[in-house]
Amino acid sequence: MDLIMGMNSGSSFDGIDVILAEISMDDDGFPTAPKFLKGGSYEWPEEVKKIVLDAFENKVDMVGLNRLNYIAGAVFAEAAVKFMRENNIDSKDIKVLGLDTQTIYQEQPDHAAIAQMSEDDKADWPNRWISGKYPAGFQVGDTSVIANLTNIDTVTHFRQADHTWGGSAAPLMQYLDFVLFRKKSTPTMTLNIGGIANLHLACSDRRKMFGFDTGPGNVISDYFVKKLYGKDYDRNGEIAAKGNVNDELLAYFMAHPFFQRPVPRSGWRMDYSPEYLNGVIQKFNHLPKEDLLATACAFTGAAVAKSMTDNIPEDLIRNTTVLYASGGGVRNPQILKEIQNRIPQNIKVMASSEIGIPPEFKEAIKFATIAYSSIHCVPGNIPAAGHASQYAILGKIALAPYHIKGGAQL
């Protein structure tokens, strides 16, 4: 068995998660289901957090982004080293560290336009992105900075390989779900509720899998709480539980253009930007504040239900009995209640902890698993889910200093 580490800082940008897991390669050529061992969470330094938040809103110039790439790498490395010290872990015992670093920007592919491209069109490689048809994304956190400071072989930036073949590469959770559930005879659904929520259907046959963003996870709830109450989040959904769902506001939310995008689709926190949400608060300022929170939770549930029934074949939904939920949104009972009440009732919502995956650490476990697959040359994308034209080995690899040979040690 090998020890692997994974890290995550997602669209909610509420901290850096670090995990240690145990894994090996199985007889079928894929990794075994990772066994979670330890996890920890760390805050971004305030001065760095401000730069990242400014970068989300396109307020950082090229000089600043260049420096931020190194700074973020150092912050990730520092969190990993602190985690190892706290848990008496030797970096040389870690087979690989996997993290996607911090996404600053992403745009999804124009799937319809790509489908219409001829082979000659696709052979014009630069024009894939000049035309805007192929997806693109930007993450900060330099791979070599992380590998050198942690002294661990490191794999980062998983999305670009899938983007090269027209895949959405967001979400990426479906690969971990395939690893976890590929030996089951019936389909399994999972839902990760971060800032943005993403839904996945895992099957033993990868050609039947789905994975796409459903809309907001807790990004709207978190923003309303900060704006209206001065709190970081609605602890246990207590404020939302005091409010009532407003049908007019819910209908307004459901008219968001996000739902016009064909799956596999990707959402981003700027779909629900401060400008958009401040406009909502102004337009519905006659509502009690707690009703805004209650309706935000209802929107998450309604978006999940609509995305599921609109895009996953009815027979697969009918044969699915469980949806394992993970991510920070699992801590909000109101969000879970709204999801359960709105999805088909043959499906029961359960926390991923029921299968040994702590909800708050599933994203980090995912990146560790993909990194482990990459160093074994196993593709970490699911073309049926992301609509890439082929399988790809994901990530950029940087080797740790302990590999140095030839008398170059100081």
**DSSP structure string for 311-349:** HS-HHHHHT--EEEEESGGGG-HHHHHHHHHHS-TTSEE
For residue 273, being part of any structural domain is answered with yes
Domain count across the chain:
2
- pLDDT for 27 equals 96
Show the low-confidence residues of the chain (pLDDT under 50): none
For residue 112, being part of any structural domain is answered with yes
- pLDDT for 370 equals 98
Range of the domain at 207: 188-359
Minimal CA–CA distance to 134: which of 173, 160, 172, 98? 160
- pLDDT for 12 equals 75
Residues 115 and 27 in one domain: yes
- pLDDT for 266 equals 82
Residues 105 and 196 in one domain: no
Residues 224 and 303 in one domain: yes
Structure tokens at 171: 């979400």
- Residue-by-residue DSSP string for 180-209: HHTT-SS-EEEEEESSEEEEEEE-SSGGG-
Residue 398 sits in a domain of what CATH number?
Answer: 3.30.420.40
Residues 328 and 397 in one domain: no
0.75 exceeded by pTM:
yes
Measured CA distances, 54 to 64, 73, 105, 194 (Å):
10, 17, 12, 20
- pLDDT for 409 equals 55
- pLDDT for 263 equals 87
Residues 347 and 365 in one domain: no
Tell me how far the alpha carbon of residue 204 is from its chain's centroid: 22
Give backbone dihedrals phi and psi of 162, rounded to 5 degrees, phi first.
Answer: -70, -40
Residues 92 and 108 in one domain: yes
Strand runs labelled E in 30-79? 35-42
Residues 369 and 398 in one domain: yes
- pLDDT for 108 equals 87
Q: Which of residues 359, 374, 395 is at a domain's end? A: 359
Residues 351 and 370 in one domain: no
- pLDDT for 268 equals 73
Count the Cβ atoms, other than its own, within 10 Å of residue 63. 8
Q: Indicate the burial class of 363 (C-beta count within 10 angstroms; 0-12, 13-18, 19 or more).
A: buried
Residues 25 and 74 in one domain: yes
- pLDDT for 410 equals 53
The single-letter code of the amino acid at 40 is: G
